[in-house]
Amino acid sequence: MMGAPSRAHGRFACVAGYARSVADHSDRHRSPDLDVDALLADPGIRIVVCCGSGGVGKTTTAAALGLRAAERHGRRTVVLTIDPARRLAQSLGLTSLDNTPRQVKGVEADGGELHAMMLDMKRTFDEVVLAHTDANKAEEIFANPFYQAMSSTFSGTQEYMAMEKLGQLRARGEWDLIVVDTPPSRSALDFLDAPARLSRFLDGRMIRMLLVPARVGGRSMFKLASASFGVFTRAVTKVLGTQLLTDVSTFVAALDSMFGGFRERAERTYRILQDPETAFLVVAAPEPDAIREAAYFADRLDSERMPLTGLVLNRMTTVAAPAIGSDSARAAAVRLDEVGGHGVTADAMRVHAALVDQHTRQVAVAERFVSAYPQVPVVEVPAQAVDVHDLDGLRAIGRSLAGA
């Protein structure tokens, strides 16, 4: 290894990253091939973030990357998953929910190890609170109904806590490589925005204004506030009810010692994501929504100066008999039905025609991304006939990711 690949800032700094120069086996996309093995083997890469819209196979991809890093590249790897399919979770030994990484059994690693964990957002939030305050105060916070609601249902808490957990894993320094799956957000970008949103809220002007009466022993500061602020408090009180405001206010007062802490932590995570030791892989299925989301993501990473390493085009349909086109396959099926006695081949022709058509559609959809971001390296992973829920299945995905 000659050291980490050099990367310049600016539009798609990833270009020099992990592109493979191999003979172009098809003329369909002009983008370079993503060299997953070079990425996983690079000691300069400490974090791989798998992002993309829901339902594209992010978790499976993250697990397969982690397994390959441990088995092929001897790296001590941890995979942080958010919401794995039940059987995949079982195959990774993710049956106990203690919010810490557990070593995965059955990994055939030479020097490497694979550990896996599933995020428990409420517990992670509790850990953050405990880290910043004493036990008594923590108890008070945990008992507050607003905290209880917020730590389990606040939109963005999962995203924030995923990033918090990433920060914790990295701070411990015991991993060569952390592979992160991102939450199944409405938008793939939520996890970039949620930490800032939550910290902005907790450190915010509004909440400080609300907090004032609690701080000065109940003497209301609202009287001193401007007329429009009077309207605001009246409206908020009317709509939300005084009980909720009291809960929020005591919650925030209890969290007072942590003020600044949230913003600082969010900013630290943000810097980790910008660091060249972090690689982002956008995972997309070859469907219009997923590809559109992948394109938004590529733009956003670029404007945040975060290193986009490549696109994983997941679940591509493969055609094993390319010599026969879909039209001739369909015509053949009709002909064979007429002749009779060829039911099996006629059906095989229809199956083949559907595959070819699907493949053609997928290529056209993927082309939208590829033509807009020709510099971004791409790797295609073929669709699996059956769902992946064991280490062998993950190894097979890993081989596809590595182009092997």
Partner 1 sequence: MVTGKGGTGKTTVAAALAIALAAGGRRVLLTEVEGRQGIAQLFELPPLPYEERVVASAPGGGEVRALAIDAEAALLEYLDMFYRLGVAGRALQKMGAVDFATTIAPGMRDVLLTGKLKEAVTRTANGHRAYDAVVVDAPPTGRIGRFLNVTAETARLAKVGPIKSQSEGVSAILRSPMTAVHVVTLLEEMPVQETVDATEELRALGIPIGTVVVNAARAPMLTGARLSPAEIRRGLTEAGLPTDRETVAGLVAEAKAYKARLGVEVGLRDDLAALGRPVVELPSLADGVTREGLDTLAGRLLADD
Q: Considering only residues 265-294, where is the footprint of partner 1 by CB under 8 A?
A: 285, 287-290
In angstroms, what is the minimal distance from the CB of 228 to partner 1? 5
Which is nearer to partner 1, 348 or 396 (by Cβ)?
348
170-189 residues near partner 1, rule: CB under 8 A: 184, 186-187
In angstroms, what is the minimal distance from the CB of 225 to partner 1? 11
309-328 residues near partner 1, rule: CB under 8 A: 319-324, 328
| Binding segment (CB under 8 A) for partner 1, from list 4-12, 95-103, 202-210, 211-219 | 202-210
154: helix, strand or coil? coil
Cβ–Cβ under 8 Å, residues 52 and 284: yes
Does 359 participate in binding partner 1 (rule CB under 8 A)? Answer: no
Order of strands across the sheet with 76-81? 19-20, 33-34, 378-382, 308-316, 278-284, 47-51, 177-181, 76-81, 113-118, 102-103
Task: Please select the residue that binds partner 1; options are 110, 135, 238, 303, rule is CB under 8 A.
Answer: 238
Length of the chain: 404
Does 97 participate in binding partner 1 (rule CB under 8 A)? Answer: no
Cβ–Cβ under 8 Å, residues 385 and 351: no
Task: Please select the residue that binds partner 1; options are 33, 247, 302, 380, rule is CB under 8 A.
Answer: 247
Task: Please select the residue that binds partner 1; options are 38, 85, 225, 396, rule is CB under 8 A.
Answer: 85
Which is nearer to partner 1, 75 or 350 (by Cβ)?
350
In angstroms, what is the minimal distance from the CB of 96 to partner 1? 20
The angle at the Cα of 160, spanning 176 to 43, to the nearest 5 degrees, equals: 15
- The H or E element spanning position 33 is strand 33-34
Does 208 participate in binding partner 1 (rule CB under 8 A)? Answer: no
DSSP states of 283-350: EE-SSHHHHHHHHHHHHHHHHTT--EEEEEEEEE---S-TTS-HHHHHHHHHHHHHH-S-HHHHHHHH
| Binding segment (CB under 8 A) for partner 1, from list 92-100, 115-123, 225-233, 393-401 | 225-233
35-74 residues near partner 1, rule: CB under 8 A: 53-56
330-349 residues near partner 1, rule: CB under 8 A: 331-332, 335-336, 339, 342-349
- The whole-angstrom separation of Cα 400 and Cα 381 is 6
Longest dimension (CA), the chain: 94
Query: How many positions of this chain bind partner 1 (CB under 8 A)?
Result: 75
End-to-end CA distance of the chain: 20
In angstroms, what is the minimal distance from the CB of 236 to partner 1? 6
- The whole-angstrom separation of Cα 166 and Cα 115 is 14
Amino acid identity of residue 365, one-letter, is: V
Does 129 participate in binding partner 1 (rule CB under 8 A)? Answer: no
Dig out the tokens for 383 from the structure.
């669709």
Which is nearer to partner 1, 38 or 85 (by Cβ)?
85
Token pair 């806590």 is found at 161
Amino acid identity of residue 284, one-letter, is: A
In angstroms, what is the minimal distance from the CB of 270 to partner 1? 20
Task: Please select the residue that binds partner 1; options are 7, 12, 38, 83, rule is CB under 8 A.
Answer: 83
- The whole-angstrom separation of Cα 209 and Cα 196 is 20
Task: Please select the residue that binds partner 1; options are 127, 176, 357, 367, rule is CB under 8 A.
Answer: 357
Does 300 participate in binding partner 1 (rule CB under 8 A)? Answer: no
